[in-house]
Chains A and B, each alone.
Chain A
Amino acid sequence: MKAPFSDYLTERAPALKELVGLLRQSFEYVSVLATDSVGISVRMSQASKSVSGSNMTTERGVVVRVCREGRYSEYAMNDWDAQDIPALAERITRVLEQQFALLKAVGSDTYTTGLLPDEPCTLFVEKNAEILPEKADPDALVKEMMSLSDRGMETIPGALDCIARGISTHISKLFLTEHRDLRQSYVYTEGTLISYAPTESGDTRVVYEGVSGCGGLEILKGLEEKLAGMPQTMKEVVSAGKVVPGEYEIIADPGIAGLIAHEAFGHGVEMDMFVKNRALGSQYIGQRVGSDLVTMHEGALCDESVTAYAFDDEGTLAGDVTEIDHGILKTGICDALSALRLGTAPTGNGKRENYAHKVYTRMTNTVFDSGTDTLEDMIASVKHGYLLKGTESGMEDPKHWGIQCIISRGYEIKDGKLTGKVVAPVVMTGYVPDLLGGICMASTDREVEGTGACGKGYKEWVKVADGGPYLKSRARLG
């Protein structure tokens, strides 16, 4: 079924159009992004259970962007009267004028920017989803998650608890300018299973599995299969040893490949960082940054994932950018304001944490293309190294091209065979061009995951997805 566009936004759209018209009398550019996203979050474990109608992406609010004399300003709100738009326009103008007065008083200069284009465009997109979060049977969802938690406790050796979580949001967004009217409605869902057990030394080891995608709560059915693999994984990590620090041959599973894509040339080519001269990538367009096997795409159109929108939070239509083509860095991704400043085209990557937050250039789906190798051949080719699985966290370093990935576990490979020895956790560090330049094999399959969230620095959390095939390279492990 189609996920229906918000009745609330449909009802309020005329008032918001009136607001755009009124503000256009005082500003050279005006846009409005209005959101109405509803959802559900269910978290079941042995220790605690909760149900909530709100989650990270549920919201209802409006952000107005204006430009005057090359200066862009925004006003975000969620409490406004659709019956008195002149008063609202006056309120927005008054608050921004107060800010202008402060900026003048402290003698602040402005980074003058041209006017955003406002080509006429109308769009109405309703994507498919079987079970909408607002229509879901919460009783069935609670029982499904509780059953997963209970069976996790029965099957995962030594488990202190097993947390089963299902989150789904039905997103509706309306973008208006003088000449544009874009409306989209889609649903994304993610489910996670987290279990933890003690080691003999008194530490606690965590095992994590997840499913996600653009669609309704039907996606959570995939958790059954994920649960089946957790007992073995837990056995492996609670008895795991520590890796001897050093450089090794590595095989990254699709999840770790996605983490590398995200941290290496995901953040590394966010072009708002080019404007600030914060990304080394700006100096390497057209140059080799990886081996011939490295082709990387980024864009909301790349995969039907948790971030498969039709237009971004600045009203730019979604795209599919080839960032790296056979090892050559081709281009980056760009929000609309940064594109104006750089004299390039926006790529549909202007995203906000929610209506109350600023737009930055952000990732959507960041994925490596597949190769021609089999995983078996890749393992057989390793003299001494590790098959790395399980994303814990990563950190970008666009200025210096360092990379830090914290990985759940590594499976030792010696003389082309898995030895059965496991190390956990593993910190992988290195220099991005070395890591990508060292990619010498890639498998034919490819997976995209989107259960995590991405920050810009240490804030501005948004949903992203990433992935790729199994990749073989070299990296420093500790």
Chain B
Amino acid sequence: MFQIIKNKLEKLGCDAWELTETLTDSWEFYYIRHQLDQNRAVETRAFEVKVYRLLEDGKFLGSASGEISPTASEAEIDKVLKDLLFQAGLVKNPAYTLTDTPVNGLPKAVMPAPADMAGAFLSAMQHLSETKTEDINSYEIFVRGKTRHFCNSRGVEARVSWPDSMLEVVINARDDEKEIELYRNFTSGICDEKILEAEIARAMQFGRDRLTAVPTPRTDGIPVIFSTSDACSIYEYFADRTNAAYKVQKISPWEIGAPVAEDLQGDRISLEALPELPGSSRNIPVDSEGCRISERFLIRDGVAEHFWGSRQFSEYLGLADSSQVYNFRVSGGTHSEQDLRQGDYLELVEFSDFQVDSMGGDIAGEIRLGYLHRGGKVTVVTGGSVTGSMTEAVSTMQCSEEQKQYDTMVIPAVTKLFGLRITPVE
């Protein structure tokens, strides 16, 4: 099928094209408590096609994309391609080029069998430490082997495979009066039993603590500490604002060679793009447009150094050697975790949904669990919300030297933000 579509694209009369075949082999297991609710297998093959036309003497490049079903007849394939060719003539984007850099020397992908990947998760979940008051409510295991075969009209061809897993777990904690739940969604390449055990044990501790929590009181002006996976949202703000699309669309005001905030008084963070990160669910050395992903600084010591992103937007910024990025590392913290935890602060560890809006810079989240450290006393709190502006917080934020990995991101283990507003429960 791949070759049939490729042959048709070569004869279509377009100026350029891209063809991607993605194979997904997924095993899924759903549990209520530790009883199997359902088992599922998913085997799919997807063909994505993008057709390009140069318009107005090459000033513009039009494109249109679509999917072709593996069960499509030749007549259906022809119709899809003909429609795309016409539609590509309607869309006038400033011209850019597809990559023509050959992809050589790709590392040999190690793809475990779904049964082995799933078996590791099933076994890990059955051997968790549970108690009468903290246990597993339900969980869902997804293990996927993915293979992507890409080629374009400029002769670039690449085949990459990677494992991609997800475990959704709901944890209960209870006392004589009430029961609460905590939700976790772990993503990774394959199962890492030790990390899983540690994260679930930590969640169970949070559950125990939440049972004794009191309504969040007024905490005027107190700094806020983030020490869980929610902190990734803070650093996604930096990653998004170094995305070429954000720059071209005028969402990101950052400039190469300029600091990411005026009057930087806090830590000057560095953000690196990585082609691979051990344990990541997105260890894909070649991006979806056939560009090799390079290890490079996007921000170094608080100064923007490079933008990443799609071929189109990268070229508009004059960055022909850029690519999409799936893994990031943040460094630059100058404090120890212990130092950051000195004095009064509010450590927030559970939210309904913590968000840092990369466009607007708004920070928002309803507080489900926090630890208020004030006057040498620790109070467990719940309720209310945290709001603020990341644009303002960037100037004064402090980070730990210690780092922690959450799937595709390595970030400071502890992040301290100043100037956030806490809405108490009154």
Residues of A bordering B, CB below 8 Å: 8, 45, 47-54, 58, 60-61, 71-80, 82, 95-96, 98-100, 102-103, 105-111, 138-139, 142, 160-161, 196, 198, 201-206, 242, 245-247, 275-278, 337, 356, 358, 393, 395, 397, 399-400, 402-404, 406, 425, 427, 429, 457-459, 476-478
Contact = CB atoms under 8 A, between A and B. Distances in A.
Contacts of A425: 360, 362, 364
Contact of A358 (B28, B119, B313, B389): B28
Nearest to B181: A399
Contact of A53 (B38, B80, B115, B170): B80
Given A50-B63, A399-B181, A459-B185, A356 B38 contact: no
B43 A76 contact: yes
Contacts of A476: 384-385, 423, 425
A459 B168 contact: yes
14 contacts: A51-B65, A54-B67, A76-B42, A77-B44, A79-B44, A105-B119, A160-B251, A276-B138, A278-B170, A403-B352, A425-B364, A429-B352, A459-B166, A478-B387
Nearest to A108: B36
A421 B64 CA distance: 45
Most buried by B among A98, A337, A477, A478: A478
Contacts of A107: 126
Q: Is the interface of B mostly helix, strand, loop or mixed?
A: strand
Q: Which 5 A-B pairs have the closest CB atoms?
A: A478-B423, A53-B66, A245-B423, A395-B353, A404-B366
Interface in B78-129: 80, 83-84, 86-88, 90-93, 115, 118-119, 122-123, 126
A277 B135 CA distance: 13
Contacts of A98: 115
Given A245-B423, A356-B44, A404-B366, A47 B27 contact: no
Contact of A196 (B26, B39, B118, B359): B359
A399 B182 CA distance: 10
Contacts of B251: 160, 196, 204
A50 B91 contact: yes
Given A78-B45, A98-B115, A276-B32, A103 B423 contact: no
A276 B119 contact: no
A160 B360 CA distance: 13
B391 interface: yes
B253 to A, nearest CB: 7
B180 interface: yes
A45 B249 contact: yes
B39 A73 contact: yes
A404 B385 contact: yes
Most buried by B among A79, A275, A337, A457: A79
Contacts of A204: 251, 359-361
B40 interface: yes
B41 A75 contact: yes
A161 B383 CA distance: 37
Interface string B9-44: 000000000000000001111111011111111111
B338 interface: no
B248 interface: yes
Given A242-B421, A399-B180, 11 more contacts: A48-B93, A48-B248, A78-B71, A79-B44, A95-B43, A109-B34, A196-B360, A206-B359, A278-B137, A427-B423, A459-B166
Interface of B: 26-32, 34-46, 48, 63-67, 69-71, 80, 83-84, 86-88, 90-93, 115, 118-119, 122-123, 126, 137-138, 166, 168, 170, 179-181, 183, 185, 245, 248-251, 253, 312-313, 352-353, 355, 359-362, 364-366, 368, 383-387, 389, 391-392, 421-426
A39 B26 CA distance: 26
B71 to A, nearest CB: 7
A103 B36 contact: yes
Nearest to A96: B41
A349 B118 CA distance: 29
A197 to B, nearest CB: 10
Most buried by A among B39, B138, B170, B361: B39
A141 to B, nearest CB: 9
Contacts of B32: 111, 275-276
B41 A76 contact: yes
A429 B423 contact: yes
Contacts of B426: 246-247
Given A52-B66, A358-B30, A110 B35 contact: yes
A457 B137 contact: no
B422 A51 contact: no
Given A75-B40, A203-B391, A404 B352 contact: yes
Contacts of B361: 202-204
Most buried by A among B38, B69, B168, B185: B38
Contacts of B63: 50-51
Given A74-B40, A105-B119, A201 B355 contact: no
Contact of A48 (B42, B44, B118, B312): B312
A110 B30 CA distance: 10
Contacts of A247: 426
B341 to A, nearest CB: 25
B28 to A, nearest CB: 7
Contacts of B366: 395, 402-404, 427, 429
Contacts of B87: 51, 53, 138
Contacts of A71: 36, 39
